[in-house]
Structure 1
Amino acid sequence: MAQSISLTAVDEKIPKPINSSQETDGTKQGFLGKHNIKIFLLISIILNIILVSTIVFFTVPRSSHYGCQDGWIGFQNNCYYFSKQEADWNSSRYNCSIKHADLTVINTKEEMKFLRQHKCTSDHWIGLLMTENQTGKWINKIAFNKSFIVRGNEKCAYLSDDGVATARCYAERKWICSRKKDTS
């Protein structure tokens, strides 16, 4: 008896090669899934950059404060420090010198307005010394030009809610220091 081999069974078990232009649905989904993840990550990164930029924009002090340390307020070319403690005029000036500053000199009406807006309700020592005949000298040795009225007959000047007045130098008040803005 001659044995015959059936080729039909063998033909069914051999997989047919897949043409490179044809892909299964599973392969297409895998590629698109990876592509979707990359798009999602890119969008997430962009949204995070926008979020961080927005936070920085709204929390960083504006240009008027640039060049001034924390706790100081910038106006024009100067930085101002408004003390929270009280001291006599000489101690106030010393406290300013520790901060590489001096008691403030008021040069313009705009500067006066700025200082009055930021000083709170307390009186603050400034860098003006008066004499008996209502002439005065700023601590930078420039003569007081009477651009505003100074109330009182004492030697040391302070800024109040009503303007500038004088008091005995040993009285304790808050003080305002000023110095030039850092340009570096």
Structure 2
Amino acid sequence: MNNQTQNYPEQNLAKDSRKQQVRGLPSPQEEIVAVILGIICFVLTYTLVRVITFIPPALIQEQNNSSRITRLQKEDHCGRFPKDWFTYSNNCYYIIFEEKTWNGSLTACASRNSTLLYLDNEEELKFLKSLSIMSWIPVFREGRGHPWMWQNGSTCKLQVLDVLPEKGNCAVLSSGDIKSDDCEFPNFYTCKHKLEN
């Protein structure tokens, strides 16, 4: 066979490619690259929009709490306590956005001349629910099957949801409910100081 009369597929492809380039059309390879780049641009744009429009719920919650607390601070301040404290119904509160164990929270509040968040009544619980506070409270038990007690030794009448029956011997206020939790697990906490009349 004569080499000049024989058509190889590679030669045909090269000829077609040259014809497309002459006409100003992209080659098949350029089309593939363009499609890939288009997909990458779409994914990057989509990701950027998601990042810009998505704010983590915890951040929104912290901002909502901060604005409510700022309003409360303007209404009344906690006297000799730092400005981060706010008042409600003759009590001063300090929400701490750091996590400690149950015992660590008790100690941290004591060092601030206050106690770990305790609940005086249903009205106070409703107020704290409106702030969506998550905090250890000074309620514990000796173990499963034992009654829940306040730190001062009195029996706790609040309903504690037993979500960790084996290790959950300390109580945490979370999403408006009081739940059992592992005392060694770090959680947020709130300190409270009762104002004198």
TM-score range, shorter chain: 0.5 to 0.7
TM-score (norm 2): 0.54
Q: Which residue of 2 aligns with 1:81?
A: 94
SS of alignment partner, residue 74 of structure 2:
coil
Higher alpha-carbon Rg = 1
Aligned alpha-carbon RMSD (Å): 2.5
Task: Measure how far apart 1:107 and its partner are.
Answer: 2.1
Match of 1:96 among 101, 109, 113: 109
Task: Measure how far apart 1:149 and its partner are.
Answer: 4.0
SS of alignment partner, residue 157 of structure 1:
strand
Q: 1:84 to 1:164 in 2, by over 3 A?
A: same
SS of alignment partner, residue 126 of structure 2:
helix
Write out the 4+ residue segments of structure 1 that deviate beyond 6 Å after TM superposition: none
Q: Which residue of 1 aligns with 2:137?
A: 126
- Report the residue type matching 2:144 in the other structure: E
Structure ranking higher in helix proportion: 2
Q: 1:155 to 1:149 in 2, by over 3 A?
A: closer
Distance 1:99 1:169 in 2: 21
Number of matched pairs: 122
Distance 2:191 2:161 in 1: 19
For structure 2, list consecutive stretches of 5 or more residues without a partner in the other structure: 1-70
Distance 2:177 2:87 in 1: 21
Relative CO higher for 1 or 2, CA cutoff 8 Å, sep ≥ 6? 1
For structure 1, list consecutive stretches of 5 or more residues without a partner in the other structure: 1-57
Map 1:57-76; keep pairs closer than 5 Å.
Answer: 61-63=74-76, 65-67=77-79, 69=81, 70-76=83-89
SS of alignment partner, residue 97 of structure 2:
coil
Match of 2:155 among 135, 143, 146: 143
TM-score (norm 1): 0.58
